[in-house]
């Protein structure tokens, strides 16, 4: 009799030790079955009376071992199941709304520069680039502005090294690339040069030591001032709207003759007069002229055969007028609050 009880208890111990589940419900059934108030452990202790006195202690120990094993099993499996539950929480919820990362946007200067490139390439101008670190010769001498010429004072220059021959400087205008192209190539030449230029100016709301220009140059047989005017009118209407008018005022540049500055009718007030056009109805946006024959000769182009025109458009100026920005420094500060306003422009 007691042998059967021992055997049962031993089997129960093994069963308990071997028990495994991943289900909470099954675990609960196991708990009730083994440790519950009417469970198997209770029954074991209840059966003690039937055991011979000298074996009771041993049986008691066995029953305790079953109880202990069941309790250990229970807490082990509980922990496992809870860990699993934790893991499911760690899986990211794909449907939680996220903070949207703002889309990047082009810088307003790039927007306007790209528009200018688009307008001129449409009528056959090709893009050229020149170095920002330039020689004195290309920036000045070739362009009819030799050393000690008073016109050099028109542009305050950052010299990198004045002692070298030729002297090195940061180009003061994209016209420097004009001389390079004229020297390297034969007409017909029809190019635009978008790029950055530098001048030793005190930084203020109106002036900066770096800014951008788009240079234009067209050289061929029989190019006239009328061609220049028509090209610029086309540009102005494409850029600022089809009702835009232009006016050319006589001016001076050492490398063009005749020279002019071009105003466009104010597109902010429709030429009625406002703060931006200083109540004149006109805003100035570029310098231009017929390439001086001396410049053509300096660069090895026959000035008897060829004529040409050139222009240089200020990109900051155009951008500021276009978007009514009244401080040029904003263009270079990379303040996200400023730049974000252009995120809808591509
Ligand atoms: N390079 C001149 C400037 O920076 C602009 C210009 C370009 C004028 C071409 C005439 C012809 O002011």
**Closest Cα to atom 12, ligand 1: which residue?**
287
Identify the residues whose C-beta falls under 6 Å from ligand 1.
173, 175, 215, 253, 256, 287-289, 310-312
Tokens 């690339």 found at: 177
- As a whole number of angstroms, the distance between CA 295 and CA 255 comes to 6
Give 147 Cα–ligand 1 centroid separation in angstroms: 18
Give 163 Cα–ligand 1 centroid separation in angstroms: 26
3-state SS record for 304-326: CCCEEEEEEEEHHHHHHHHHCCC
- Residue of 253, 257, 284, 309 best suited for mutating to test ligand 1, as the one with most atoms within 8 Å of CB: 253
By three-state DSSP, how is residue 207 classified?
Answer: coil
Three-state DSSP class for 196? Answer: strand
**Residue keyed to tokens 């466009």:** 264
Q: State pLDDT tens for residues 36-69.
A: 889 888 888 888 888 888 888 888 898 899 899 9
Average pLDDT, the chain: 90
Dist. CA 131 → ligand 1 center (Å): 17
Q: Are 264 and 282 in contact (CB under 8 A)?
A: yes
Rounded Cα gap, residues 94 and 282, in angstroms: 56
**Res. 346: pLDDT tops 60:** no
Say how far apart CA 302 and CA 310 lie, in whole Å.
17
Q: In whole angstroms, what is the distance from residue 39 CA to residue 27 CA? A: 14
Compute the CA torsion angle 324, 315, 126, 282 (nearest 10 deg). Answer: 70
Looking at ligand 1, which residue's alpha carbon is closest to its atom 2? Answer: 312
pLDDT of res. 29 = 92
**Ligand 1 centroid to residue 158 C-alpha, Å:** 18
Q: What tokens appear for 139 in the block?
A: 């920036």
Q: Residue 133: what pLDDT?
A: 97
- DSSP letter assigned to residue 267: T
pLDDT value of position 146: 84
| CATH number assigned to the domain covering 108-342 | 3.30.930.10
Separation of alpha carbons 108 and 157, rounded Å: 26
| pLDDT for the residue numbered 344 | 65
Atom of ligand 1 nearest to the CA of 213: 4
Please write the tens of the pLDDT for every residue from 65-81.
989 998 998 898 888 88
Q: Could you say which DSSP state residue 186 is in?
A: P
Residue among 173, 195, 231, 262 to mutate when testing ligand 1 (max atoms within 8 A of CB): 173
pLDDT value at position 78?
87
pLDDT at 147: 83
Protein residue with its CA nearest to atom 9 in ligand 1: 311
Give the DSSP letter string of 38-82. TSHHHHHHHGGGGS-HHHHHHHHHHHHHHHHHHHHHHHHHHHHHH
Residue nearest to atom 7 of ligand 1 (CA): 312
Atom number in ligand 1 closest to CA 175: 1
53-90 vs 24-35: helix axis angle to the nearest 10?
170
pLDDT at residue 100 greater than cutoff 90: no
**In ligand 1, which atom is closest to the CA atom of 312?**
7
Cα 215 to ligand 1 centre (Å) = 8
Q: What is the pLDDT of residue 87?
A: 63
Cα distance between residue 157 and residue 153, in whole Å: 8
Give the end-to-end CA distance of the chain in Å, rounded to a whole number.
94
User: What average pLDDT does the segment 304-310 reach?
Assistant: 98
Q: Atom 4 in ligand 1: which residue has the minimum CA distance?
A: 173
pLDDT, tens only, 116-158:
999 999 999 999 999 999 999 999 999 999 888 877 776 789 9
Query: 175, 248, 256, 259: which to mutate for ligand 1, most atoms within 8 A of CB?
Result: 175
pTM of the model: 0.71
Is pLDDT above 90 for 248? yes
Give the pLDDT of residue 109: 95
Cβ(201)–Cβ(209) below 8 Å = yes
Report the percent of the chain where pLDDT is more than 90.
55
pLDDT at position 89 over 70: no
pLDDT at 84 over 80: no
Ligand 1 atom nearest 178 alpha carbon: 9
Residue with tokens 């990109």: 315
CB 238 within 8 A of CB 342: no
Q: Distance between CA atoms of 175 and 215, rounded to whole angstroms?
A: 6
Is 89 strand, coil or helix?
A: helix
Q: Could you tell me the sign of the dihedral formed by the alpha carbons of 326, 286, 208, 152, in that order?
A: negative
How many Å apart are CA 24 and CA 30, to the nearest integer?
Answer: 10
**Tokens encoding 178:** 């004009």
CA of 56 to the centre of ligand 1 (A): 114
Minimum-distance ligand 1 atom for the alpha carbon of 216: 9
């Amino acid at each position: 009799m007691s042998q059967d009880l021992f055997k049962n208890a031993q089997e129960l111990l093994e069963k308990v030790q071997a028990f495994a589940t991943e289900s909470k419900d099954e675990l609960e059934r196991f708990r009730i079955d083994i440790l519950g108030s009417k469970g198997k452990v209770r029954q074991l202790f209840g059966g003690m009376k039937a055991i011979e006195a000298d074996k009771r202690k041993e049986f008691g120990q066995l029953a305790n071992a079953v109880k202990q094993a069941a309790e250990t099993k229970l807490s082990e499996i509980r922990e496992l199941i809870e860990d699993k539950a934790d893991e499911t929480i760690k899986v990211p919820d794909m449907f939680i709304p996220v903070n949207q990362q703002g889309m990047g946007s082009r810088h307003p200067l790039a927007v306007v520069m790209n528009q200018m490139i688009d307008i001129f390439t449409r009528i056959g101008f090709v893009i050229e680039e020149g170095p920002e670190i330039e020689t004195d010769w290309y920036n000045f001498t070739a362009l009819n502005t030799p050393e000690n010429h008073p016109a050099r004072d028109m542009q305050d220059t950052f010299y990198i090294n004045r002692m070298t021959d030729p002297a090195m400087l940061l180009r003061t205008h994209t016209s420097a690339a004009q001389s390079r192209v004229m020297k390297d190539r034969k007409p017909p030449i029809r190019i635009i040069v978008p790029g950055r230029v530098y001048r030793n100016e005190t930084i203020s709301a109106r002036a900066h030591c770096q800014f951008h220009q788009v240079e234009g140059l067209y050289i061929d047989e029989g190019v006239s001032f009328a061609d220049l005017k028509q090209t610029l009118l086309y540009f102005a209407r494409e850029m600022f709207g089809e009702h835009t008018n232009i006016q050319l005022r006589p001016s001076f540049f050492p490398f063009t003759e005749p020279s002019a500055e071009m105003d466009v009718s104010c597109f902010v007030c429709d030429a009625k007069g406002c703060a931006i056009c200083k109540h004149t109805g006109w805003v100035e946006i570029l310098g231009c002229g017929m390439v001086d024959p001396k410049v053509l000769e300096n660069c090895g182009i026959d000035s008897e055969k060829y004529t040409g025109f050139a222009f240089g458009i200020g990109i900051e100026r155009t951008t500021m007028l276009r978007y009514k920005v009244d401080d040029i420094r904003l263009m270079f500060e990379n303040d996200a609050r400023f730049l974000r306003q252009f995120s809808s422009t591509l």
